Chains A and B, each alone.
Chain A
């Protein structure tokens, strides 16, 4: 009894203290903001407060923190692992419940506008950060800019996407494991259908071209670069009809297996001998392929997707305005994502391509062949063949909502052999009309 009373009293005191101290603290904040830009060259300095990052991309973020600490040894970075499926919810709950937010938030690109609406991020285009977004690639520079002109995060990678394949299986079924030759074999989505049928026939139904409807749905969705929203209308039909059409086609011809994307079971297929192609944005290499197929070095290749390269996914790092280590947080983001050294580290360790234009001017930057990919120069491939052809990337408040519906439909299609693309679209439209209340949907 006593203990509870004590702690209650204690927290009451704390509450009072916080209330009283908040006013001067705010004034102080205003002062520092008026100050000149942060001295990024001061490698020894530290605010003394550790920088907390929440991430679902734990291993990669740890690598970034380690590399950063070699340059800035006095800044402590704490990496907290939060499941992807809970991430946005957790941020929202922290905001609504007034609990402590991390200093750095990883903003999934499909939720950028939703993060913007929370109003918790520093405007990185203003002092003391003073980022001019023109230093980034044109197609991506406006994605993290909100309606009021504030820049809430810096993109980690432009996320160029190819198709990863297992060399031995490609050789077996298509007679070659050369990325260029394979790329020429698959120029339309229907080529995948034909190849899928062939694979099924020759393996007695054992092998599949792709592993998961969810992964295929994601690829098809991002291949279509049409804007989801314009003038208050969500173009659901335009965005989804080809996705649904090919999902049903793939299902009917058993081009894809039935794994639920991202589950441990699906991840285990990366190491098996039954699934050949995987949609492969650059981040898939470190998230999926390497951890799940540690013995697969040399057996992987990356080829051009049908219809050309596309950009899929991406994450921005932003600083919360309640952070007590903004300077240090900014040093971290700046070094990793906006310097040449950072760019090299991101490319070497994570296979990430930061959005800073100038680092690519150096012809040596992209480096040489990659062992894991059987000697293929995947960096050159990702950058020169794919990244340069990406068209303007844009996101709306409802991207994630539509993506959730897409996953729902992908599962439904793979389960029900009689579900047609038209029926699925209708179902999707109805779902959308229930979830999206303040915009037109067509």
Chain B
């Protein structure tokens, strides 16, 4: 604001308008809400993480003890971190690649394109609760359709939801199903917006389909790639609904599925903070640790986007 005060003369009013007053008016709602409902809770969680508190009674200041506990004794936290990253790695990259490949094969479809795009969006808009229930039904060991088909073909049914490795695969499969169509539709949209002239020029130069794809289509899709990578990172790191809904359905439900193999960071956090032993202080410490993990990954993401920014200014 000092800066604007220094400017003098008639111009000052207008300058002030456009560099302080209006920006402030337009930015303020976001900033206020951001501070009040997003930033403040996180800061307050950090404050809570230095305490031992179950939500009732006095908060007891314990310093960094919660953090020490996480790093020395809490193997479950690290397990949930590993699970999340593993689930992320085995599901999102294949979903992106498959989505891209299908889109590449299909992008010269003209008729019914919007229809196909909408249809392939459906998994993405289906409520996670429903997806959890349906997959539970498909993969049940004794009555599920998948095992009945396997048995019908003469094989032996698998314990999809009771075996740690298989349970992770089911979750990954669920993510694949949810996102492939979505990514495909996005890529399809991106590809069709690339000017046909470029392709014509490439054909004249004698470039084959594969080369055209790698040296023209893919680079031009960089913005959409970044968009997809960033949004799937956000989604993947927050994974909670689907595993929780699949493995937390009955009276003897197990937190995190078989051997806690599907316990994601968020589920662990939710369980620690609100589960059978309510420890809001400790839960907050877990949240702060997740925050740091995500921050590190975000900075990498930011660099990616920063790269894009520079490119544009060139």
Residues of A within 8 A of B (CB): 84-85, 88-89, 92-93, 95-96, 111, 114, 117-120, 214, 218, 257-263, 265-266, 268, 400-401, 404, 407-408, 410-412, 414-416, 430, 433-435, 437
Residues B162 and A258 in contact, CB atoms below 8 Å apart: yes
Q: Tell me which residues across on chain A come within 8 A of B280, comparing CB atoms.
A: 96
Contact of A92 among B55, B73, B249, B251 (CB under 8 A): B55
Residues B276 and A114 in contact, CB atoms below 8 Å apart: yes
Contacts A258-B162, A401-B277: A268 and B143 contacting too (C-beta < 8 A)?
A: yes
Contact of A407 among B142, B161, B252 (CB under 8 A): B252
Q: Tell me which residues across on chain A come within 8 A of B189, comparing CB atoms.
A: none
Contact of A260 among B75, B250, B260 (CB under 8 A): B250
CA distance A408 to B247 in the complex (A): 12
CA distance A261 to B266 in the complex (A): 25
A-B CB contact pairs (8 Å), 27 listed: A89-B275, A89-B276, A95-B55, A118-B56, A119-B56, A257-B142, A258-B141, A258-B142, A259-B141, A259-B142, A260-B250, A261-B250, A262-B250, A263-B140, A263-B249, A265-B143, A400-B276, A407-B254, A408-B254, A408-B258, A408-B259, A410-B252, A411-B254, A412-B258, A412-B259, A415-B163, A437-B73
Residues B142 and A85 in contact, CB atoms below 8 Å apart: no
Residues A401 and B76 in contact, CB atoms below 8 Å apart: no
Residues B255 and A404 in contact, CB atoms below 8 Å apart: yes
For residue A4, give the distance in angstroms from its CB to the closest CB of chain B.
Answer: 10
Q: Tell me which residues across on chain B come within 8 A of A265, comparing CB atoms.
A: 140, 142-143
Residues A404 and B254 in contact, CB atoms below 8 Å apart: yes
CA distance A435 to B141 in the complex (A): 29
Determine chain A's interface SS by DSSP, over half rule: helix
Q: Tell me which residues across on chain A come within 8 A of B274, comparing CB atoms.
A: 89, 92-93
Residues A434 and B74 in contact, CB atoms below 8 Å apart: yes
Q: How many residues of B contact A (CB 8 A)?
A: 36
B218-266 CB contacts (< 8 Å) to partner A: 248-255, 258-260
CA distance A435 to B277 in the complex (A): 9
CA distance A424 to B250 in the complex (A): 23
Contacts A119-B57, A415-B159: A214 and B73 contacting too (C-beta < 8 A)?
A: no
**Interface-central residue, B248, B255, B275, B278, by most chain A CB under 10 Å:** B278
Given A95-B56, A434-B75, A437-B73; 4 other pairs, CB 8 A cutoff: A93-B274, A258-B141, A261-B252, A265-B140
Q: Tell me which residues across on chain A come within 8 A of B212, comparing CB atoms.
A: none
Contacts A92-B55, A412-B258: A218 and B140 contacting too (C-beta < 8 A)?
A: no
B48-88 CB contacts (< 8 Å) to partner A: 54-57, 69, 73-76
B159's closest neighbor in chain A, by CB?
A415
Residues A96 and B159 in contact, CB atoms below 8 Å apart: no
CA distance A433 to B76 in the complex (A): 11
Residues A408 and B260 in contact, CB atoms below 8 Å apart: yes
Q: Binary interface profile of B, 183-209, with partner A (CB < 8 Å = 1, else 0)? A: 000000000000000000000000000
Contacts A259-B142, A401-B276: A85 and B56 contacting too (C-beta < 8 A)?
A: no
Residues A117 and B54 in contact, CB atoms below 8 Å apart: yes
B141's closest neighbor in chain A, by CB?
A258
CA distance A435 to B11 in the complex (A): 67
CA distance A364 to B213 in the complex (A): 87
Q: Tell me which residues across on chain A come within 8 A of B57, comparing CB atoms.
A: 119
